[in-house]
């Protein structure tokens, strides 16, 4: 019998009763007799076996690690969930592990295998000391002798880079790539700081029930829940670069460009305990708790830093407080957030696209010196799509200020025109027609806002000057200053 066959008998078949290799190491082969190498039940037939001295596959030791590691150590399971190595291991570790496990256990030692490419410099060249293009992870994390040339990025930036690349092929790294990763990291940190800062006076008891939230807030939670689901699927499929892309687009771009931008008015201008501010904080708290937990596997230091500075305590399922981010677990799914009616989803997609087109006309008006801030403007909308016109009109007269269309456009007024009269068209210098979702044609016009500018919120209103005690305030700001509840119909001011 060859050396491999004796190893199988002595090491794999009875590892607990005859652990030769685990006790004496692989050198035992050279000085122990055949009889001593064999399991006890085979020793009476030692004369039928002989030791072989041919060189074995050099990957045999690592290829048998599943037996020494997975089966021998508490807390580990055989087969492994995943074997991870470079593409050079297709005929190395992966192959030898598969052969030894199939030969002795009848199944593969792993449930899944992931292979990755090699790390190259920014020009796509192999790293070598002679070229001086080697990127040392320790220097990336801790910095080099020259802080300007080799700044200390920290482990999270390096981990963020790892998550950003498609490891199925060769990947590039270098100073420029790391600077880009550092910029993205800082922007993400800025998003989290915004969330933490605007929740400084919020507690879970302040949360507004989902059914009472404004439509804009329900839509924001709908988007958040879909992001959490998508990212979980990517983690389960080891598609980390997709997680990076989703987080970058959602947490850095989409939130900042729309929801955060619109939310500033009710966060900073409304009363501290007003309904619209509390509803906004309810949504911000949900985003903070979700984002910090979904980024934790990739950016543990940032996630833990945020968790330790939460302005409120978060309880987990058993009622205890999560002292650390990894104790909090994955965000619990909320079916209500996903149950947003299809017609509402469609409307908000149109509103977001319409907002982009309105911003283009506002920018043109700004360039023509008609307005400075977008709050200087009044927007006119007209569409022959009766359903869209009706729903836009419904937003204009929303029962709460948060859903008001002029708040979404960050203008002082919005008017939906039933008819497009030539006299009005001629009087508006900045206008244009735009297709929304490729089918609904919407005419957009911009003029100066009506009324006077409120010195507190900078919105224009015909109500400014109506309050003798505060003649420079609009009705919303007047109510806030006088410590009264801001009226839900503030949109009419």
Q: Quick one: pLDDT at residue 374?
A: 97
Indicate the fold that domain 207-338 takes in CATH. Isoleucyl-tRNA Synthetase; Domain 1 (1.10.730)
Burial of 133 (0-12, 13-18, 19+ CB in 10 A): middle
> Is pLDDT above 90 for 40?
no
- List Cα–Cα distances, 217 to 155, 238, 278, 281, in angstroms: 35, 31, 11, 10
Asked: is 350-450 a CATH 3.30.2320.20 domain? The reply is yes
Boundaries of CATH 3.30.2320.20 in the chain? 350-450
Q: Quick one: pLDDT at residue 297?
A: 97
Encode pLDDT of 148-189 as tens digits: 889 999 999 999 999 999 999 999 999 999 999 999 999 999
Boundaries of CATH 1.10.730.20 in the chain? 207-338
Q: Is the CA virtual torsion 54, 59, 62, 63 positive or negative?
A: negative
Q: Quick one: pLDDT at residue 220?
A: 97
4 or 120, which is more confident?
120
- Give this prediction's pTM: 0.84
> Is pLDDT above 90 for 4?
no
- Return the bridge partners of 349, or none: none
Return d(Cα 73, Cα 68) in angstroms, integer.
8
Encode pLDDT of 371-396 as tens digits: 999 999 999 999 999 999 999 988 87
For the beta sheet containing 413-416, the strands, ordered from the edge strand earlier in sequence to the opposite edge, are: 413-416, 377-383, 440-448, 430-436
Return d(Cα 242, Cα 84) in angstroms, integer.
19
With H, G, I as helix, E, B as strand and everything else as coil, classify residue 360.
helix
Q: Taking Cα atoms as reference points, which of 125, 127, 117, 121 lies closest to residue 86?
A: 117
What single DSSP character describes residue 165? S
Q: Quick one: pLDDT at residue 405?
A: 94
Average pLDDT for the chain: 90
Structural contact between residues 408 and 354, judged by C-beta atoms closer than 8 angstroms:
no
Q: Is the CA virtual torsion 348, 351, 356, 357 positive or negative?
A: positive
Encode pLDDT of 48-102 as tens digits: 998 888 876 777 888 988 988 888 788 888 999 999 999 888 888 999 999 999 9
Return d(Cα 338, Cα 16) in angstroms, integer.
53
> Is pLDDT above 90 for 341?
yes
């Amino acid at each position: 019998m060859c050396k491999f066959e004796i190893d199988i008998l002595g090491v794999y078949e009875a590892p607990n009763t005859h652990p030769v290799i685990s006790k004496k190491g692989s050198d035992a082969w050279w000085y122990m007799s055949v009889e001593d190498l064999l399991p006890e039940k085979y020793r009476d037939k030692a004369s039928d076996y002989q030791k072989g001295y041919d060189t074995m596959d050099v990957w045999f030791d690592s290829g048998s690690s599943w037996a020494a590691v997975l089966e021998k150590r508490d807390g580990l399971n055989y087969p492994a969930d995943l074997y991870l190595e470079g593409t050079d291991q297709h005929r190395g570790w992966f192959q030898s592990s598969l052969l030894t496990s199939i030969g002795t256990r009848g199944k593969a030692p792993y449930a899944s295998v992931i292979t990755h490419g090699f790390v190259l410099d920014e020009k796509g060249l192999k790293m070598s000391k002679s070229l001086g293009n080697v990127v040392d992870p320790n220097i990336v994390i801790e910095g080099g002798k020259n802080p300007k040339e080799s700044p200390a990025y920290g482990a999270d930036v390096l981990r963020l880079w790892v998550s950003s690349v498609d490891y199925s092929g060769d990947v590039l790294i270098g100073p420029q790539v790391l600077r880009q990763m550092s910029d993205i990291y800082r922007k993400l940190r800025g998003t989290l700081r915004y969330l933490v800062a605007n929740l400084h006076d919020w507690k879970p008891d302040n949360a507004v029930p989902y059914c009472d939230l404004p439509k804009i807030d329900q839509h924001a939670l709908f988007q958040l829940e879909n992001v959490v689901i998508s990212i979980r699927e990517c983690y389960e499929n080891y598609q980390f670069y997709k997680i990076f892309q989703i987080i970058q687009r959602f947490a850095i771009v989409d939130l900042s460009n729309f929801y955060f931008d619109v939310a500033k008015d009710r966060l900073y201008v409304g009363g501290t305990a007003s309904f619209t501010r509390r509803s906004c904080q309810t949504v911000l708290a949900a985003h903070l708790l979700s984002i910090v937990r979904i980024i934790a596997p990739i950016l543990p230091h940032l996630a833990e830093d945020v968790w330790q500075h939460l302005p409120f305590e978060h309880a987990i399922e058993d009622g205890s407080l999560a002292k650390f981010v990894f104790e909090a677990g994955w965000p619990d799914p909320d079916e209500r957030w996903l149950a947003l009616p299809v017609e509402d989803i469609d409307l908000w997609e149109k509103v977001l696209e319409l907002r982009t087109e309105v911003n283009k006309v506002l920018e043109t008006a700004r360039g023509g010196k008609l307005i400075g801030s977008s709050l200087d403007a009044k927007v006119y909308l007209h569409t022959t799509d009766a359903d869209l016109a009706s729903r836009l009109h419904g937003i204009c007269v929303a029962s709460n200020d948060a859903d008001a269309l002029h708040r979404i456009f960050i203008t002082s007024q919005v008017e939906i025109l039933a008819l497009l009269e030539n006299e009005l068209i001629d009087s508006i210098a900045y206008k244009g027609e735009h297709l929304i979702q490729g089918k609904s044609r919407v005419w957009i016009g911009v003029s100066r806002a009506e009324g006077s500018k409120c010195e507190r919120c900078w919105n224009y209103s015909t109500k400014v000057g109506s309050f003798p005690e505060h003649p420079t305030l609009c009705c919303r700001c007047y109510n806030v200053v006088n410590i009264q509840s801001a009226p839900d119909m503030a949109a009419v001011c």
